[in-house]
Structure 1
Amino acid sequence: MHSLRVWDLPTRLFHWLLVAAVIGLVVSGNLGGSWMNWHFRLGHAVLALLLFRLLWGFVGGYWSRFAQFSYSPLTLWRYLRGQSRPEHELGHSPTAALSVFALLLILLLQLASGLLSDDEIAFSGPLSRFAPAEWVSLATAYHAEWGKAILIAWVALHLLAIIYYQLFRKVPLVAAMVSGDKATDLEQPAAKDGLPQRLLALALALGCAALSAWVASL
């Protein structure tokens, strides 16, 4: 057995910052009132994080790239039947990959609907004035009702999956996302996680933050 760097530092920071921001979004959105100011700030923080992750999915560490965990339906079927390859348990497994892509889509839809929302009282998204009234009405209803319910349900399902892997399959997913390393006897590529990669991640993160701030100022 040897230690293999699977999750690079930018991926780990993205993960934990997203966890904190989504929790803050759900809490502030339910509290309402003056907490909505924090809801907006956290929403733009999540926008920057998701933009970064989309870019990092093409230029990030080996195991963080979308190409590494974009599985075919046949591979997924074989995995569900217990015919997976050992390396599938190092990065995102076929089922975990589905969960990741679904969560990214759910968050993007929730963000898009939030940017278009208008409660017609005190708060409106920065893009609401550019969209037809029908779109704004649909986005507002989705963001406050269906979208929020779907997001909370998917996050709960994600947590249950982590608990299942931790308790029943003895796969320490949380520990790996903290340290970045997994113990394995497989000879697989390690994720590059040196200074050049971290500087690239920083540049991308700053660019995404600037873009999110520009959207907020519209």
Structure 2
Amino acid sequence: MKIRIWDLPTRLFHWALAASVIGLVVTAKTGGNAMVWHFRLGYLVLALLLFRLAWGLVGGHWSRFATFVYGPRSVLRYLRGGAPAAHTAGHNPLGSFSVFALLLALAAQVTTGLFADDEIAYAGPLAHQVSAELSLSLTWYHKVIGEPLLIALVVLHLLALAFYIGVKRQRLVAPMWHGDKEVDGDLPASRDGAGARWLALAVFAAAGAVAAWVSRIGS
């Protein structure tokens, strides 16, 4: 049975976030004038994360956090191959850890970036709201810990995708592209009509407004 698993707002969030993270890494490594775009992409990721936080509460069924927060028993059952269909339709128990780890790492990276100061040309909009010592500590995390941690998590995420596609023969990328997936049993579909999409647009507009406000604090 084929049902809508990933609503359009979730799919747009996913691909926009992936493109933004790539852009953030490239601009960080390039430095110089590219840092202007690094900051812009950082604000975009902040808006995307705020949107996802809200959408995890009011979005389509399989996009809600409640559908992919698993306890130890669920994880063990999944590893033993006995997970119910509801635990594999959206994010499976192992995949959920990857999702939350990436979101938390990105949240930490964006937050520390807002307070970072390279002491040369660029400083986050909140850098002068804290002491110089704290700003430097957050800058150190952003560059030395946060960046390689985020890259490592992305690589692990991609390796896991490759494993599921190549070894377990599970199509995980296609459903995130067109939204639909073949599932076993009678499972609920995610809301993805005009009403849900207008709601998502309003939520993202609010998230974007917050990110824009944060970007202007230091100006």
* TM-score normalised by structure 2 residue count: 0.97
Could you tell me whether the CA contact under 8 Å between 2:85 and 2:183 is conserved in 1? no
| Cα displacement (A) at 1:134 | 2.0
Residues 1:209 and 2:192 are matched in the alignment: no
| Cα displacement (A) at 1:47 | 0.2
| Cα displacement (A) at 1:135 | 1.4
Residues 1:68 and 2:67 are matched in the alignment: yes
- Matched residues in 2 for 1:127 and 1:77: separation? 43
The CA RMSD measured in Å over matched residues stands at: 0.8
Partner of 2:38: 39
- Matched residues in 2 for 1:89 and 1:67: separation? 14
Partner of 1:198: 197
Gaps of 5+ in 1: none
Partner of 1:178: 177
AA partner of residue 152 (structure 1): I
- Matched residues in 1 for 2:190 and 2:177: separation? 15
- Matched residues in 1 for 2:57 and 2:20: separation? 23
| Cα displacement (A) at 1:83 | 2.5
AA partner of residue 6 (structure 2): W
Q: How does 1:71-110 map to 2 (within 5 A)?
A: 71-110=70-109
Residues 1:151 and 2:166 are matched in the alignment: no
| Cα displacement (A) at 1:82 | 2.4
- Matched residues in 2 for 1:171 and 1:77: separation? 20
Partner of 2:128: 129
| Cα displacement (A) at 1:184 | 2.3
- Matched residues in 2 for 1:157 and 1:121: separation? 34
Secondary structure in structure 1 of the residue aligned to 2:3: strand
Q: Deviations over 1:96-152 (max 9, x none)?
A: 111111111000000011001000000000011001222111110111111100000
- Matched residues in 1 for 2:198 and 2:131: separation? 41
* TM-score normalised by structure 1 residue count: 0.98
Partner of 2:164: 165
| Cα displacement (A) at 1:169 | 1.0
Partner of 2:55: 56
Runs of 4+ in 1 over 6 A off after TM superposition: none
Residues 1:16 and 2:23 are matched in the alignment: no
Deviates more, 1:183-192 or 1:57-66: 183-192
Deviates more, 1:108-117 or 1:130-139: 130-139
- Matched residues in 1 for 2:134 and 2:79: separation? 39
- Matched residues in 2 for 1:51 and 1:155: separation? 20
- Matched residues in 2 for 1:84 and 1:217: separation? 48
Residues 1:84 and 1:185: Cα distance change in structure 2 (over 3 Å):
closer
| Cα displacement (A) at 1:53 | 0.1
Secondary structure in structure 2 of the residue aligned to 1:12: helix
- Matched residues in 2 for 1:83 and 1:169: separation? 15
| Cα displacement (A) at 1:34 | 0.1
- Matched residues in 2 for 1:81 and 1:103: separation? 25
Give identity over the alignment, percent.
53
AA partner of residue 42 (structure 2): G
Secondary structure in structure 1 of the residue aligned to 2:33: helix
Gaps of 5+ in 2: none
Secondary structure in structure 2 of the residue aligned to 1:33: coil
| Cα displacement (A) at 1:25 | 0.2
Secondary structure in structure 2 of the residue aligned to 1:14: helix
Q: Deviations over 1:6-62 (max 9, x none)?
A: 000000000000000000000000000000000000000000000000000000000
Partner of 2:29: 30
